[in-house]
Amino acid sequence: MRLAYDPSHYRDNTNLKDTIDTVARLGYEYVELSPRKDFIWFYEYPKVDKQLIKDLKRYCSDAGVKISSVLPVQQWSSPKEEERQAAVRNWKRCIEITSELEVDLMNSEFAGDISRPVESEAAFVKSMEELMPIFEREGIKLNLQSHPNDFIELNTEAIRMIRALDKDWIKLVYSVPHAFFYDDGIGDVEKHLDEAGDLLAHVLIADTLNHKAAFGLRYIVNPPDAKVTIHQHLNPGEGEINFDALYRKLREMKFDGIVTNSVFAYPDRPEWSNELTLKSIKEGLNL
């Protein structure tokens, strides 16, 4: 099992070198390169050149940190063809960067438009038809997660789409703080992991509250019919995820993929947050 850290707490006020050094100091051998403005940002063309790639490899080597995966988020499922094409261009560059970093794994989200699921699915499949040969040529694997407000929110539908792609190098990311979206407010983490089975390759650890609770009044939004989506990435124990069940199930499955600290809520207290979350992960998974 690879235990990784998503350094989103540090992306706004820490340069890339200091971020990698911090990941090592916090107790991790692996870093998940999530979006940041000075590297690969959400929906944008990567701001990376050969020198930055060379520097990043040196930062990692010096700190004793390995890159577990590169995480771009692009609108490759957009029903707007011009936007989809731009996302594919961006993805091609992201794949090239990942290959030059000598990393063999990327992970991402389905994206798209939840109000236009059929058109978004068609756009996603079209993008994958263009990109899958490039992934295969570069020897890079891909892990995908459904995400709140993506055209795929349900765990079952994410699994079905991955199976439809029918590539043994495309697997599932299970994001624990999305659990109440994965089954419309139930949050049955054990059932989700059972559904994933052999596709489960990556687990993101964070807690969240059930947005469906309190008769739908857990979060009061005005006007009441406003189309909004909300969840959190809290320290384990601060929300309503059943972490005892989650960890027990992962142990029973003998899960041997990537587990990432994916708490984002405390940029003002990141070390305190990491201490709590890392302790939860290590104790829960007997690491």
Distance CA 17, CA 74 (A): 25
| Strand, helix or coil for residue 132 | helix
pLDDT for the residue numbered 88: 98
The residue written with tokens 């029918």 in the block is 166
Give the pLDDT confidence score for residue 214 in this predicted structure: 87
At 217 the pLDDT is 81
Q: What percent of the chain has pLDDT over 90?
A: 92
**Six-digit token pair at 173?**
């990311």
Q: 73 pLDDT exceeds 80? A: yes
Task: Kindly tell me the burial class for residue 223, based on how many C-beta atoms sit within 10 Å of its own C-beta (0-12, 13-18, 19 or more).
Answer: exposed
Query: Which residues 6+ apart lie within 8 Å of 160 measured at CB?
Result: none
pLDDT at 218 (0 to 100): 86
What's domain 2-285's architecture?
Answer: Alpha-Beta Barrel (3.20)
Q: What is the pLDDT of residues 209-255, one digit of tens each?
A: 999 888 878 888 888 778 889 999 999 999 999 999 999 999 999 99
- Per residue in 147-199, pLDDT tens? 999 999 999 999 999 999 999 999 999 999 999 999 988 999 999 999 999 99
Residue 229 CA to residue 180 CA, distance in Å, equals 12
- Asked if 8 and 273 touch (Cβ cutoff 8 Å), the reply is no
Per-residue confidence (pLDDT) for residue 220, from 0 to 100 = 86
Number of H helices, E strands in the chain: 9, 8
For residue 258, the surrounding DSSP H or E stretch is: strand 258-261
Q: What pLDDT is recorded for position 9?
A: 96
> In the prediction, which pLDDT does 193 show?
98
**DSSP label at 197?**
G
> Per the structure block, which two tokens stand in for 206?
């964070």
Percent of the chain with pLDDT strictly greater than 70:
100
Count of Cβ atoms closer than 10 Å to residue 227 Cβ: 8
CA distance 150 to 148: 6
24 phi-psi bin (left φ>0, alpha ψ -120 to 50, beta other): alpha
For 175-188, b/e burial (b = at least 16 CB within 10 A) is bbbbbbbbbeeebb
pLDDT at 226: 84
Domain ranges of the chain: 2-285
CB burial of residue 157 (10 Å; 0-12, 13-18, 19+) = middle
Instruction: Report the alpha-carbon distance of residue 135 to residue 208 in Å, rounded.
Output: 33
Q: What is the pLDDT of residue 7?
A: 97
The per-residue pLDDT for range 30-65, each reduced to its tens digit, is: 999 999 999 999 999 999 999 999 999 999 999 999
Of 110, 44, 36, 41, nearest to 77 by C-alpha is 110
